[in-house]
Amino acid sequence: MTLLYLASPYSGTRELEDERWKAIAEITDRFRRIGVAAYSPVALWHPIARQLDLPQNFFTYSAVDLEMLRRCDAFVIVPLPGWLSSRGMEEEWRAAREENLPCMILDILTLVSTTIDWYSWPTKQESLWIGK
């Protein structure tokens, strides 16, 4: 079974983090329902961090997340609002490139992924064709 790594933005206000968690949890479950295994750091760590009052940022959990990334078959960008300014997503993308993982960007409505071949993390201007 193929295992996807779902990269999505997370950090922000408590309300924004909750909204992002709900969105990525739904997307992760949609993959499950069509028989695709997906790992999402946000879906995993958000409830744990809230329950145990732990820090909520990429760098707190990066050792585990990057190990999971190495075990995945593909890296999928979930372009929720704020993704371009996500330092954690950029770090995940760099790690995925080092592992030579196929890199894709997800259409959130259809779950169709488009393969991308970026040599650098896109700037806001460069990314106008793929979302905000």
* Per-residue model confidence (pLDDT) at position 47: 86
Q: How far apart are the first and last CA of the chain?
A: 32
Strand partners, 37: 3
Tokens standing for residue 18: 């909750």
**Model confidence over 22-68: pLDDT tens digits?**
999 999 999 999 999 999 999 988 888 888 988 777 777 888 899 99
CB 42 within 8 A of CB 24: yes
- pTM comes to 0.84
**For 104-116, what is the mean pLDDT?**
79
**Model confidence over 17-26: pLDDT tens digits?**
999 999 999 9
* Per-residue model confidence (pLDDT) at position 100: 93
Confidence of residue 120 (pLDDT cuts 50, 70, 90): low
Domain extent listing, the chain: 3-116
CB 20 within 8 A of CB 7: no
* Per-residue model confidence (pLDDT) at position 25: 94
Amino acid at 17: E
Fold of 3-116: Rossmann fold (3.40.50)
The DSSP H or E segment spanning 26 is: helix 14-33
* Per-residue model confidence (pLDDT) at position 92: 92
**CA dist 32 to 3, 12, 17, 96, 128, Å?**
11, 27, 22, 22, 30
* The residue count for the chain: 132
**CA dist 55 to 50, 84, 85, Å?**
9, 22, 19
Kind of pairing, strands 103-107 and 112-116? antiparallel
**Model confidence over 61-95: pLDDT tens digits?**
888 899 999 999 999 999 998 898 888 899 999 99
Q: In angstroms, how far is CA 22 from the centroid of its own chain?
A: 13
